[in-house]
Structure 1
Amino acid sequence: MGKKIAFITDIHGNANALKATLHEIDNREIEHIYCLGDMIGIGHQTNEVLEMLFSRHDISMITGNHDEAVLALIKGEKYPESHNVGELRKHHEWIANDMDTSFIPKIEKLPRYIHTTIEQVPTALIHYHIRKDILTEHISKEPFSQIVEQSHIHLNDLFNDFDERLICFGHHHPVHLFQMEEKVFLNPGSLGCNADPFAKYSIVNFKEGVVSIDLHEVKYDRMEFIHQYKKVQVPFYKTILKIFYGIEDSV
């Protein structure tokens, strides 16, 4: 029969987009959902997103750089220098102060990398490439590799130390799908941080060692989410909307 697995990533505190996506996934014959990190940060619906994710038993999550940077602030640990620019740290501090403390131990328990085999297909789940020899280094050590150009050649070079057949990741917000004979690279695209009113996700069909991938997007009320930035007085919201959503300060 095979298995159908959904992949989501980079929700970035957008509960509106996540709710619409999970509703659509729940109306399909999906066996499990993998979330590839950056559940929080940038968006303002931190607790709503985490409640939706942690309340379900069919979602496995890994951490992304925003999740880990916010957690470092909460725990009084060293903050990554790459994030300590402009207004990003102050934004993360606002996210950290807003987060329900009951989610802290749950995020702490999440892995950074999952290796699994689905229907004979070795599969890697990671927010973005990290060298295997520094896989457990703290976020302040800047373990995530620099983003490379969106091509199968660059990704194959980047992930040359990963032996899995299917490599699923996020971090770089555009959709990536490169299917080669030896490796398949999938980035479903950012679910909650886009310049259009669609939340992106992917469904992978696994059957007897073969994968087929369907890219999906679901419409949601993006402007309601955008207008809430001003309503709840998110710090530096005009800058955030311009950089991450392509919206000028007319909101």
Structure 2
Amino acid sequence: MSNLELEELLDAIHMYARDDSSSEPAIMLSANIHGINQAYKYQWLLRMNNNAELVRNDSAGIQLAGKILGIPIKERMTWADFGWDLAEYCEREGLTMYFLGNEEGIAQKAKDELLKKYPALKIVGTYHGFFKKEGEENQKVLEDINRLKPDILVVGFGMPLQERWILKNRSKLDVGIIMTGGNCFNFLAGTESRAPEWMHKNGLEWLFRFLKEPVRMFDRYIIGNPVFLLRVFRQKLFKRSTSSS
């Protein structure tokens, strides 16, 4: 994971967004408990995490794991906050963006909301995420993105669909850096409510999401969180045993 503070991460994004030396766009992934659990399940996703140019901490659980393992994680940046920080930075530095994902109209609404606060921000295009990821419709999306040549492409299909699409299409995209966004456009558009501030500050946003959608989120949080912590403690015991031998 890229253990960076906000300004360090934004400067790194800028560097990759304007780097013409690479034949392919850079990739920035989001690190959270669900993503790490998915990487245990899919070897291709594990390799993608290991090879990504940037991995942003998106979870209080990752910070907790860092404490357990003795690796301090500098900062947690969820898209609900990070999206606004990124927009401010892009407006200031003249970086262009393209939003791809969510239901019809949500990415456009996210753009509209950001422009209210950052009117000089250049979001050059938006497209919904419910298109066929193969064939003519996929090619149409690629052509639209490449026509506009954004510095930053944000892809919000949900995990691991977004990561698989990025891997398949990375070499065909004329952009600077591709970021995974998950459900970010709903948060930026204001169509999905955030956890109360006290829950956010105490790393309990997962509980808020579970209470809103207990059936859909049961496996992710009630099963996934303990599994993740067990793996972290197992790694700690392994490190302790190897250091003492």
* TM-score (ref. length: structure 2): 0.33
Find the structure with the greater CA-based Rg: 2
Larger strand share, 1 or 2:
1
